[in-house]
A and B are shown apart, each in its own frame.
Chain A
């Protein structure tokens, strides 16, 4: 069998586009048996479908004439005009197809793209997996993710690719709404693929700009140094220490952040520290300034007895005779007082 499924699909497409001016239901009706018929023709004869049946356009014209579908005034005038427009558009597209063909080294551009269809099916499956993964709120990337499980994502990917290939092989005979649905889904996936590409592109360019920046940070750990303090072995601060590297070149680190005696900002020079007064471990000279104890420690304030702990009023078993005089201290503000107080006073 020299005729492939793709050739059949292409033939059907061209017949259908030649009938584009008919109402969709009439067109579907007329071409309903066509894929099956072409398969039978292909199985029985050698050579291409065009050799055997003539051009799809001629086939369409014959079909239209025999079915008497020509002068059928179906649909409104708007629908008919739309259909005619579709027909003209399809003709334009075919013209473009033939004109672009030589660019690819083929008679028509579609002849070049047709063998690439299975590759598109694979890509479509991958895109579908990405879309499902994104719809489930998984982090986006170039591979589908499913609940953080590698195996699950792999299953998802393989599944969608298989379904896509299966659909690609089956779509030859699809007519009416399943065909429209498939095209709609494909269009949605294409839109989605743009989003994926944008996302990937953003990540790619973002990584490129972060890398050199972090190198600078890592390569210069002395950026945060403002001053250098040198202590001798006795732990005393060395003043006006000079720093040199192995070649005798002065090492410049930091810059003065304090004012000198005259109230000016000193000129940076190779003498450290710039600001001896800011030494981290002790003062430059043994000064007599002992760390003054802060005066903030307030003595425990003595407050009047108004807030003194209330006398155990109700709970204390009152012995009326002896405790009566001593029970005079602060009237207990508690609610239970009335119960206990009257008794002792009596």
Chain B
């Protein structure tokens, strides 16, 4: 199954998750997602998701001037974002458990 299809559904959650402990700028967030194993995540998808979460009021932004290169726009979770992360996280866990059970029952899991 194509991972990109799955990603579409959970990218919001993944982005919120990598911002839980530390704020980050666009490329930084992308790198964290890739390092976590989401290799197929598209650059534009991450940037689009960040804009959408920001527009939905789940993120705040601030600009950090850098001595070398352009200024960077950092994204941070706000209270609403943390709420959303907790709720979506719960939904995902129950969904994943269901899927695991489903696959176990049929004897298809490794």
Contact = CB atoms under 8 A, between A and B. Distances in A.
Interface of A: 29-30, 32-37, 39-41, 53, 59-60, 62-69, 173
Contacts, number: 63
A30 B51 contact: yes
Contact of B73 (A30, A32, A40, A173): A32
Nearest to B27: A40
A53 B49 contact: no
A39 B26 CA distance: 12
Interface residues of B, number: 20
B44 A60 contact: yes
A66 B49 contact: yes
B57 interface: no
Interface in B2-47: 11, 25-27, 42-47
Chain A interface SS verdict (over half)? helix
A62 B27 contact: no
B87 interface: no
Nearest to B54: A29
A39 B71 CA distance: 12
B61 to A, nearest CB: 10
Contacts of A36: 26-27, 69-73
Given A30-B51, A36-B73, A67-B51, 7 more contacts: A29-B51, A37-B26, A37-B47, A40-B27, A60-B44, A67-B49, A68-B52
Given A35-B70, A36-B70, A41-B43, A66 B52 contact: yes
Contacts of B72: 36
A60 B48 CA distance: 10
Nearest to A52: B43
B69 A39 contact: yes
A59 B26 contact: no
Contacts of B25: 33
Contact of A37 (B27, B45, B51, B55): B27
A108 B46 CA distance: 30
Contacts of A39: 69-70
Given A41-B43, A53-B43, A173-B70, A33 B26 contact: yes
Nearest to B70: A36
Nearest to B46: A66
Residue from A29, A30, A32, A67 whose CB has the most chain B CB atoms within 10 Å: A67
A37 B73 CA distance: 11
